[in-house]
Chains A and B, each alone.
Chain A
Amino acid sequence: MSIELKGVRKRYGSVEVVKGVDITVEDGQFLVLLGPSGCGKTTLLRMMAGLETVTEGKVYITDEDVTDVLPKYRDIAMVFQSYALYPHMTVAENIGYPLLLRKTEESAKQKAIVEAAEKVHLEPYLDRYPRQLSGGQRQRVALARAMVRRPRLFLMDEPLSNLDAKLRGHMRAELKHLQKKLGVTTVYVTHDQIEAMTLADKVAVIHNGVIQQLDTPRNIYNDPANLFVAGFVGSPQMNMIRGVIQNGRFSSVAADVHCQTMQDHSDAVMGVRPEDLTIITDTQSSQIGTIKARIYSLELTGDETIVTCSIEDKVEQAQIVVRMPPDYEEQIDAPVEIAITSERIFFFDDEQGSRLRDNSEQALVNDTAMSAMS
């Protein structure tokens, strides 16, 4: 079943929290809504579920206009951000509630309950009440209750947020496997970009109620549409340096980088990911560009060292982060030279945050825009 939002807006009084959103989720697709807290993800999901009226725009499920259809007719299973467990029912009764409503035969129901509980590792807790469970266990009950039946659509609102790191990784794999096996179209909300990248077929990055970019995880990472997406996706974050583009060079207080094909721009921001940087010795040089910096701190994570350096920026001290091999060592405050090792450099307009593309890319973008229109 596909779901489609067309020009959807939501206002609470005079405050607009969703500002014209268009999304299409194909049958069997896994879409992740990614964005910081308060950007309108939950509101969007609730409008898909029919729990929130749509101020403007339309919602379609498999080409059927469901904008004004009550939730119970939409055949959707939802995991609430707040879990929403029934406190007067045991875990088994909670999980079995959707089946109870469908008058499923008792033995089939019990079997389904146990199966769903197994998927989230809750078999020992079936007779407990929600108040006797930890936050992570409650969240898993909520997941099991959604997975116990096969709806037209799964909606999940940060369903893994309360699990510890190990269990979260495990549940992520479980969810992805299950979703592919059942082939149920899924919309999944999270503010965790790693979850988004690992789970999604398509990611919609949302900021202030507007979709910033809707694309595959790979494209979101490798070709961010604007400054917000570039900064939000990736960990450690993309490095941003302010400067000027002139005569095919980007220059700032600390950096000097080649960018032959870019047009001149006086308020530019250069973005480059930590893995595309390396710290070089005096004898080495870079084809693309270099940045002068001082070591600020070193963090060894095991398989790499995250090096934070401070640089002079146009207005203030800024920091940039470099990923180095685990054996890298240097004194704090030592002056170093950082080289850019990849062509994957992004330029943005400092004020608008919009992406500055070079001439060839510009032509490409225009082309696709044209073909999309026709």
Chain B
Amino acid sequence: MQRSKQQPKSLWQRMWEPKDVQSIAPAKKVLTYIVLIAWTFVVLFPLYWLFITSFKLPIHVSDGPFYIPFIDFQPSLHAWEYIFVDLGSDTLRPYMNSVIIAFISTALAVFIGSMSAYALTRIEYKPKVGSIMGFIAILGLVVYLTVSIKMAWQLSLSIGGALFLMFIFAFNKHFKRSLNNNDILFWIISQRIMPPVVSVLPIYIMFQQSGLLDTHFALIVTYMAVNLPIAVWLMRDFFARIPVDLEESAMLDGASRMRVFLTIFMPLAKPGLAATTMLILILSWNEYLLALFLSTADAQTMPLMVAAQNATRGPQWWYMSVLIVVMIIPVLIAAAFMGRLISKGQLGGAVKG
């Protein structure tokens, strides 16, 4: 009873205590903002530095550091001129390559990934362990026939296919142990546990043998394959949170599968799709290692071009800065667009509890 009586509080106490349950104490508020401002600085300063470096002469970099244009140093457009006028189409080509490869591979990864994520959350799969073993054994046989016996690959593949079909029809229903959706998901994610560098040589040789090195196709397919596991994994989580009841209810109301997908599922999946698209776009846009192996001139991408500015005459910071500044633009546009979709998340009230 004593406690509830309002005792006058000292200024110090009032500093550290919120005035009601929904606000933050003044002193804590100040501390929070100090931390936030410091972090903002940490994040934004490199961008600022990049931007002003693109207007510096080599001498401003080597004699630096200079911080403020027009006061510390006189900005110059020489680097921009070199990149866009002197190099001209040699800049534009990698730029267009990057745009084409990143956007198409992202679109494909999200498209295919969303379908498999949808299937993994809506359909129950029970692949039989025995059948998988059989598949691996027959695959081994096909490789053996082709490589050691030197059988034509068309023939060995047909034999393998026929054998597998017979195997499935004869034995599939007799196998007891089976895997489930989680096992399939883990298998998909496991493709990404090892870094892509592990498989870069086989991929290189594959495209070399098929004469597809240094083409858009090679990079698009590779990026798509590398990013698919991430897309499936992220979207499965998003999709699993959308209650199946909603789709079932719409089906009972008379909607077709397509209609359910477009008018019920997609509006709710948008935030997840947008977040995944953004992440994969950034991964593809910045990818360096695979591009280094798979492209030389025609399909060269921007990260390679940036790195090339460090080639013969030492790091050319001013040229790199210009390239990086223009590299940021498409991603910023995409982020602004996707951000709007992400903020539209609204699953509240769909189902009980």
A interface list, Cβ under 8 A from B = 49, 51, 70-72, 74-78, 80-88, 97-98, 101-102, 129-133, 135, 138, 145, 162
Contacts and interface: CB of A to CB of B under 8 A. Distances in A.
Given A80-B351, A84-B249, A87-B348, 20 more contacts: A49-B248, A51-B251, A71-B251, A71-B252, A72-B251, A72-B254, A76-B252, A77-B252, A80-B248, A85-B350, A85-B351, A86-B246, A86-B250, A86-B350, A87-B246, A88-B268, A101-B253, A102-B254, A129-B346, A131-B348
B267 interface: yes
Given A84-B245, A131-B349, A78 B267 contact: no
A78 B254 CA distance: 11
B189 to A, nearest CB: 25
B243 interface: yes
A101 B259 contact: yes
Interface of B: 243, 245-246, 248-256, 259, 264, 267-268, 346-353
A134 B346 CA distance: 16
A97 B263 CA distance: 10
Contacts of A70: 251
16 contacts: A72-B251, A78-B249, A78-B252, A80-B249, A82-B353, A83-B351, A85-B349, A85-B350, A87-B268, A87-B349, A97-B253, A101-B259, A131-B346, A131-B349, A138-B352, A145-B253
B253 A82 contact: no
Contacts of A162: 352
Residue with the highest number of chain A CB atoms closer than 10 Å, among B264, B352, B353: B352
B346 A87 contact: yes
Contacts of B248: 49, 51, 71, 80, 84
A101 B255 contact: yes
Given A84-B243, A97-B250, A97-B253, A138 B349 contact: yes
Contacts of A75: 254
B268 A133 contact: no
Residue with the highest number of chain B CB atoms closer than 10 Å, among A49, A74, A97, A162: A97
A368 B254 CA distance: 43
A11 to B, nearest CB: 13
A78 B251 CA distance: 10
A287 B301 CA distance: 101
A51 B351 CA distance: 17
Contact of A87 (B251, B255, B350): B350
Contacts of A77: 252-253
Contacts of A85: 246, 349-351
Contacts of A86: 246, 250, 264, 350
Nearest to A148: B253
Across the A-B interface, the 9 shortest Cβ-Cβ residue pairs: A130-B349, A131-B348, A131-B349, A84-B245, A82-B351, A84-B249, A98-B253, A87-B350, A101-B254
A212 B69 CA distance: 87
Nearest to B347: A87
Residue with the highest number of chain B CB atoms closer than 10 Å, among A83, A132, A138: A83
A97 B245 CA distance: 15
Nearest to A142: B249
B267 A130 contact: no
A74 B259 CA distance: 17
A159 B328 CA distance: 53
Contacts of B264: 86
Contact of B246 (A71, A84, A98, A135): A84
A82 B251 contact: no
Given A87-B268, A129-B346, A82 B254 contact: no
B352 A129 contact: no
B265 to A, nearest CB: 10
Residue with the highest number of chain B CB atoms closer than 10 Å, among A81, A84, A162: A84
A143 B69 CA distance: 67
A281 B126 CA distance: 70
A85 B350 CA distance: 5
Contacts of B268: 87-88
Contacts of A102: 254
A270 B19 CA distance: 65
Contacts of B251: 51, 70-72
Nearest to B253: A98
A188 B249 CA distance: 16
A345 B249 CA distance: 46
Contacts of A138: 349, 352
B347 to A, nearest CB: 5
A30 B254 CA distance: 23
Given A49-B252, A51-B252, A82 B352 contact: yes
Contacts of A71: 248, 251-252
A29 to B, nearest CB: 20
Nearest to B126: A13
B177 to A, nearest CB: 13
B245 to A, nearest CB: 4
Given A51-B248, A80-B249, A72 B349 contact: no
A72 to B, nearest CB: 5
Nearest to A155: B252
Nearest to A162: B352
Contacts of A84: 243, 245-246, 248-249, 350-351
A171 to B, nearest CB: 17
A119 B252 CA distance: 22
Contacts of B267: 88
Contacts of A76: 252
Residue with the highest number of chain A CB atoms closer than 10 Å, among B249, B268, B348: B249
A12 B13 CA distance: 61
A4 B24 CA distance: 62
Residue with the highest number of chain A CB atoms closer than 10 Å, among B254, B264, B348, B350: B254
B195 to A, nearest CB: 38
Nearest to A138: B349
